[in-house]
Chain A
Amino acid sequence: MAEHQDHAAAHATEDHKPHGWRRWVYATNHKDIGTMYLIFACTMFFIGGGAAMLIRAELFKPGLQFFDPQFFNSLTTMHALIMIFGAIMPAWTGLANWMVPMQVGAPDMALPRLNNFSFWILPFAFTLLISSFFVPGGAPAGGWTMYPPLVLQTGASFPMLIFSVHLMGASSILGAINVVVTIMNMRAPGMTLLRMPLFVWTWLITAYLLIAVMPVLAGAVTMLLTDHFFGTTFFTAAGGGDPVMFQHIFWFFGHPEVYILILPAFGIVSEIIPTFSRKPLFGYETMVYAVASIAFLSFIVWAHHMFTVGMPLAAQLFFMLSTMLIAVPTGVKVFNWTATMWKGSLSFEPPMLFALAFLFLFTIGGFSGLMLAMVPADYQYQDTYFVVAHFHYVLVPGAIFGIMAGVYYWLPKWTGKMYDLKLATVHFWLSAIFVNVLFFPQHFLGLAGMPRRIPDYAVQFTDWNEVSSIGGFVFGAAQLMFPYIIIKCVRAGEPIGNRAWEGAHGLEWELPSPPPYHSWTTPPSDAVIARGAAH
């Protein structure tokens, strides 16, 4: 071990990396690219969050105070596209870039130049998308789901929307291919599939989902493009097409997509809870199989997003039952995490706090998901704020808290320094409290009859909208602490040893902090792998 570290340290001085801007533009190193992905995701998180703040400001009171309804629709559309494709997905790819090679005992990602390409597509894709605010007709306002015929009414920004979605999809597919190839080919000898950490497992499954569904999205938006410009009528009934067909195709992509957004969070939580419970993960293999079953089921539930389009009874029953079935493997995961804490020795550092908030609040999102699966009840919930509350519960305290938990967990490893734990704890409490103030009242609003995607509402919805907006403003402001804590850590954190957390297991903790530029230049020995894989 010591011998190995010396070796790695010797290599660190001869990593031949270019300096200055070339290091980033020509980057092929998994850590540099991972860092760029994470900075990009964080930037998009604040741009998308800015849109959310404007939305909550307009909804603070009934009546239109600030925006034209069309611009409001642009805000909701862009908020969703930026958060999904710009913040959450690149954040996961960034974490995969940083962690997968370190966790499987590899020196780097398998395809470094592809890695560079898949990252550098993103700034162009989002410059194209966001600049659509400034073209005639304004930014896309037909919702991120891009349902025709409405989306075909988009002005000059329509082709910008389609091409930026194409670019995002291409970037995701390339990133996913890289992850799959790295995991399949670059594992150290002795790192068998069932020894892999759950973050690697969940990312492997996520990557397959990406490769399977991103081309479907690309196909759907290409058909929109030809409907708009080349006279085809794929989705126009007057020409023999079918607007509902778009919804089927879109959600065949869209439902696996929601698991693309959440599965890596399952992986991170499965690493953090054992670490801070000082106890191996309960039911490691069941956890892997549960993720695989969720991924499989995600392909056969898509039409639960569209129960009100008028499907045959048999189809509605099928999609209701298959959707309910997802609760089983998801329940298994929640029970296993709880069992991991049971008879553990728990401590509550920031990563654990975020993981625990994930556990509680994701479960609430799961409950509302179960309610939404019931078709007759869904007729009342569909397209109301109840749905908005549901998916924000699984995406904000779900995916976003998962990302923050992961960053707070691995930041000491990346930088070799410990961040301000007190400040991060304050960040946690502000986030955890106000995310509920923000989203919980939206359940009430939806049940009482407030539709989603409206800039103005009937006056009886005022009270809970005010509460929700106040929650939103405090939650949004609290997020500014996140980059501040990270920058402060990079600049002036206390140096930390290899194993930043007492109970941490896994190959990444066997490397020095910060790790050498090329992570594992010689594969870790079987003993080191076995010690790390003590699930």
Chain B
Amino acid sequence: MTIRKTLARLALTAAVGALTLPARAEESGWAQLNMPKGVTDISRKIYALHMEIFWICVAIGVVVFGAMIWSLISFRKSKGAIADTTMVHNTQVEVVWTVIPVIILIAMAVPAARTLVEIEDTSRTGLNIKVTGFQWGWEYEYLDEGVTYFSHLDRASDAARELGSGIDPTTVPFYLWNVDHPLVVPNGVKVRLLITGADVIHSWWVKDLGVKKDAIPGFVNEAWFKVDDGWTGLLRGNCAELCGRDHGFMPIVVDVRSKADFDTWLKNTAAARKQASAPTPPATPSATPAGAPAAAPAASAAASG
């Protein structure tokens, strides 16, 4: 009786918990269970492929685990089951369970191959950006416009991440997922990245773009993305290849803007850069859009270069 009461209370608590969970899911990590769909056509195709394979695995799992659990329940010695020792081989069954997986695999390989072919097509791009991974940050170079700047972990995260810093990471906005100067790109344009490494191998990964490509010293890898027309905002990612002590502290932030905003930003940044490198003292920064890495990156590039 008491056990039943306890169970009922537990079930009630669980039900209430399940109902209230979505409310606080926004800020909590409990609800982060799956790959995001992302903001490009390719990232959604990858997501669809991932879900398709996932459900195929679930279906196979239901059949296989079902058969196992059925055996565990119905063929127990304690329930008086007697072994059928003649059942040692059955060519027909064995052929069937070899052929069926092959068919399933072919069904899975076709869409995967199709998406892969699309991902590998780096032709007809509208903007070329060279991405260089270094220990520990990223350098972005807009190849046709001559704009170059560095992107590091932002100061708030950098202070909080020190051993025994005393700063609670939950108080830092986008802890470890924020940079000083994000990569600025336009939406609706096919952006090609030329990715390389300066010292060791890094990997440029933004999951919402569906792009992960290794940055290898001495090699230039290609990747591309085209953010949906009309989508603006910030996307966050990380270095995905172990690259030494601060591998966990070189995030990537991509600032997606409309084509017009992007063009303005690029023009201003190029102008600011030209001024900064000119012998005359630079004019006071005025018309740079809020938060845009205009004069600052140029200055930092000049300082570290």
Contact = CB atoms under 8 A, between A and B. Distances in A.
Interface string A424-459: 000000000000000000001001110111111111
A367 B60 contact: yes
B33 A149 contact: no
B242 A244 contact: no
Interface string A132-162: 0000000001110001011001000000000
Contacts of B72: 341, 346, 356
A254 B28 CA distance: 38
B120 A238 contact: no
A286 B87 contact: no
Contacts of B81: 343-346
Given A281-B88, A310-B222, A371 B75 contact: no
Contacts of B211: 379
Interface of A is mostly: helix
A43 interface: no
Interface residues of B, number: 97
B98 A380 contact: no
Interface string B64-83: 11011001100111100111
Interface string A314-343: 001100110011011001101110110111
Interface in B28-85: 28-30, 32-36, 42, 45-46, 49-50, 53-54, 57, 60-61, 64-65, 67-68, 71-72, 75-78, 81-85
Given A63-B169, A448-B32, A347 B78 contact: yes
A296 interface: no
B246 interface: yes
Interface in B155-191: 160-165, 167-170, 174-177
Contact of A309 (B210, B214, B218): B214
Contact of A374 (B76, B93, B108, B243): B108
A310 B219 contact: yes
Given A243-B201, A448-B34, A69 B248 contact: yes
Nearest to B58: A367
A343 B112 contact: no
B218 A243 contact: yes
Contact of A277 (B75, B115, B214): B75
A282 B88 contact: yes
Contacts of A464: 29-30, 32
Interface of B: 28-30, 32-36, 42, 45-46, 49-50, 53-54, 57, 60-61, 64-65, 67-68, 71-72, 75-78, 81-85, 87-90, 93-94, 97-98, 101-102, 105, 108-109, 112-113, 115-117, 119-120, 160-165, 167-170, 174-177, 199-201, 203, 205, 207, 210-214, 216-219, 221-222, 237-249
